[in-house]
Amino acid sequence: MLIIFLGCVTYAYKVISDINIAKIAAVEPRADKVRLIQFEEGGLLKKEDLKFFYSKTSDKRFFNIISKSLSESNENYEVIKNVDLEPLIPNDCSRSRCLQYRLPFSSIPHIFSKGLIGIEDYRFLNHFGIDLKSIFRAIIQDIKAGSFVQGGSTLTQQVVKNLFYTNEKSVQRKVKEAIVAIYLETFLDKTTILQTYFNEVYWGSLGGVLIKGIESASRNYFNKNILDITSYEVSILISMLKGPNYYNPIRRTQRLRDRADFIYKKLKKLDFIASNDKSMWDDEDWADWVSFLEYSVEMKYQEALYLTLKRKESTDQYLIFNSILRAKKLLEEKDWKDNSYSVKMVIGDSTEKEFYYSRFERDIEKAIKNEYVQVGSTLKPLVYEIYVNNGAELDQKVSVEPLTLDLLSGKWTPRESHKMKVSEVSIARALRESLNIPVIRLAQSQGFDVVEKKLKVKFPRLLTPLSQYPSQLLGALELSVDEVFEAYKGFFERDCIAGKSSITEVLSNPKLTTIKYRVGKRLGGQRFFGKTGTSNQGLDNWFIGYDGRKLFVIWFGVDGDRSGIKDTKTYGSNTAFLIYRDSVLYSGRRLAILPCL
């Protein structure tokens, strides 16, 4: 007997030694750096996007500020007045694709703890971590069923499972769970255990993003701060704890409703809910809620929120959130069967920048900084800058007549995407229409070696001699997204000077450039720099956008193996530009005034 006893003690000691008790951390008041999110009078915001985003901020004014600051425009968007919001609540979850906001127990309404204990573990306040009666009852049921059908777990055991173990149904896991539960109860009070439970338990997932903790559940399922949750919504959340997938609100709506009704009535019977409480939902309430959740999943709200929060020092949280939404939506709308298309973005200004990559499972720094693809026509403004600095004038005429170069590799003839009806055009028009032949003719007239010398400084991987690789001037040059961003940041610092006629000015009227058929009425009336680029038959698509305040470099293309993929009919104008268009249009800010206009 002594040997058995010592063996049990040794096993228990090993189990306890293997856990990291630091996971049960005290919840301290947040002391996060506040960088207000500023919206400007006259800017546009998508209504539903704003409502979701706002409910995830730390602003304590709730939704009053929205109704006071927004004026109705139409059913799709709002025209806003000047307003500042506090930033998003930081994400406490360390897991991938997970949202969590920890709360101190004092911030959790009492109805949750009372309801949870009354429904899930009514002997919680009296047991020592395990409930022997529940365990014996569960064993009998399991024997009858011939499998694990009941666990007999206490709330303390559920805390242990969520923090330290998996959902594996085995005797060994249950024994470990019980040992650790008893250990926790020896030095933690019941309040701390409940606090940990509410912060660490999973409430299912939305759009492939795990919802962890009660505050995250409240804000993601109901778009509400936990203090605004109604008694019936409390019943819904408690119902889901029994099995978030089994009681999934979208796929198992009626099952969840039946359980929520049962729990609501039981909580009333236990006097946890006032007898005159009228918050119980009807058919319309349920239909509206499910529609909201379906829309939330469709729009990728949770994923956009998660990815925005990964950039902890975001310069502009709403703009990043909005841009991610547009990128995700475009990828979904394109719906290529091989799922090989991705989006990479760098958004920033002269001092700060943000990265985004739609393939969250890969290294974002490597993808943005160290993966190289052809830049297409996005290179042309940088090439024309060399021509202008060498004396070319923007109103100068240049021939668009066909030409052929004799290279060591053979004859090479640059072509245009459409037939020209004139023999020559101004450099400004060649820029706006992204013509190819003028780029080569100007390089010929100024000297390939002269152009090469200056281009090599900007892009060290340039193949030389340039006279033998002239297609690089048309964008057959491989750069990373970050390299393009840095090149354009420097370009605007040099080119966009107030009062100077510049390349930036030439490309600032969207009704005259390659995006004229896509820009739309509202954005078409604005002035901003815009340059598209397309290469490899649509496998690489680009857009560079700059309004004097924010620089966007957006790549939309095929990652990985490109073999067997034919012309996709995608261009910078119908992919990358659309992300920019909707991102800035519904950012809640007016476009800045380009300093060179």
With pLDDT > 70 as the criterion, what percentage of the chain qualifies?
84
Per-residue pLDDT at 18 exceeds 60: yes
Query: How much is the average pLDDT of 299-313?
Result: 89
Comparing 13 with 380, which gets the higher pLDDT?
380
Task: Give residue-wise pLDDT tens across range 236-285.
Answer: 999 998 889 999 999 999 999 999 999 999 999 888 888 888 899 999 99
Q: Which of 120, 111, 103 is nearest to 156 (CA)?
A: 120
pLDDT for position 150: 47
CB-based contact 323:308 (threshold 8 Å)? no
Task: Give residue-wise pLDDT tens across range 341-365.
Answer: 899 999 998 888 999 999 887 889 9
Task: Give residue-wise pLDDT tens across range 151-181.
Answer: 557 877 777 777 776 666 667 777 777 777 7
Query: How much is the average pLDDT of 322-332?
Result: 92
Question: 14 pLDDT band (50/70/90 cuts)?
Answer: low
Q: How many CB atoms lie within 10 A of CB 342?
A: 18
Per-residue pLDDT at 528 exceeds 90: yes
Task: Give residue-wise pLDDT tens across range 38-83.
Answer: 888 888 888 889 889 989 988 766 556 665 666 555 557 777 777 7
pLDDT for position 148: 44
pLDDT for position 140: 47
Query: CA of 311: how far to CAs of 88, 219, 307, 320, 495, in Å?
Result: 11, 20, 7, 9, 30
pLDDT for position 145: 46
Q: Which two tokens stand for residue 45?
A: 């915001």
Per-residue pLDDT at 135 exceeds 60: no
Task: Give residue-wise pLDDT tens across range 84-132.
Answer: 888 899 999 988 899 999 999 989 999 998 888 888 777 767 776 676 6
Residues in Cβ contact with 299 at an 8 Å cutoff, skipping those fewer than 6 apart = 48, 49, 325, 328, 329
Alpha carbon distance 98, 95 (integer Å) = 6
CB-based contact 577:515 (threshold 8 Å)? yes
CB-based contact 394:388 (threshold 8 Å)? yes
The residues with which 406 forms a beta bridge, in sequence order, are 411
CB-based contact 39:78 (threshold 8 Å)? no
Instruction: Give SS3 for 385.
Output: helix
Q: Which of 235, 217, 215 is nearest to 280 (CA)?
A: 235
Query: How much is the average pLDDT of 194-200?
Result: 89
Q: Which of 9, 52, 190, 68 is nearest to 117 (CA)?
A: 190
Only one residue has tokens 């310069």, namely 315
Residues in Cβ contact with 27 at an 8 Å cutoff, skipping those fewer than 6 apart = 102, 103, 104, 195, 199
Query: How much is the average pLDDT of 389-409?
Result: 94
Amino acid letter, residue 325: L
H or E, element range at 290: helix 283-298
Task: Give residue-wise pLDDT tens across range 444-479.
Answer: 999 999 999 999 999 999 999 999 999 999 999 999
Give the DSSP letter of residue 506.
Answer: H
Overall CATH class of domain 91-310: mainly alpha
Alpha carbon distance 451, 443 (integer Å) = 7
Comparing 540 with 153, which gets the higher pLDDT?
540
Conformational region of residue 520, where left means phi above 0, alpha means psi within -120 to 50, and beta covers everything else: left
Q: According to DSSP H, which parts of 165-276 are helical?
A: 171-187, 190-200, 214-221, 231-241, 253-269
Dihedral sign (CA 562, 467, 495, 398): negative
Buried b or exposed e, range 404-432, using 16+ CB within 10 angstroms = ebeeeeeeeebeeeeeeeeeebbbbbbbb
Instruction: Give SS3 for 552.
Output: strand
Q: Where is average pLDDT lowest: 193-197, 238-242, 248-252, 407-411?
A: 193-197
Alpha carbon distance 180, 172 (integer Å) = 12
pLDDT for position 573: 94
pLDDT for position 492: 92
DSSP string covering 259-287, please? HHHHHHHHHHHTTSS-TT------HHHHH
H or E, element range at 569: none
Conformational region of residue 342, where left means phi above 0, alpha means psi within -120 to 50, and beta covers everything else: beta
Own/partner pairs, 279-283, CB within 8 angstroms, 24+ separation: 279/230, 279/231, 279/232, 279/233, 280/232, 281/232, 281/257
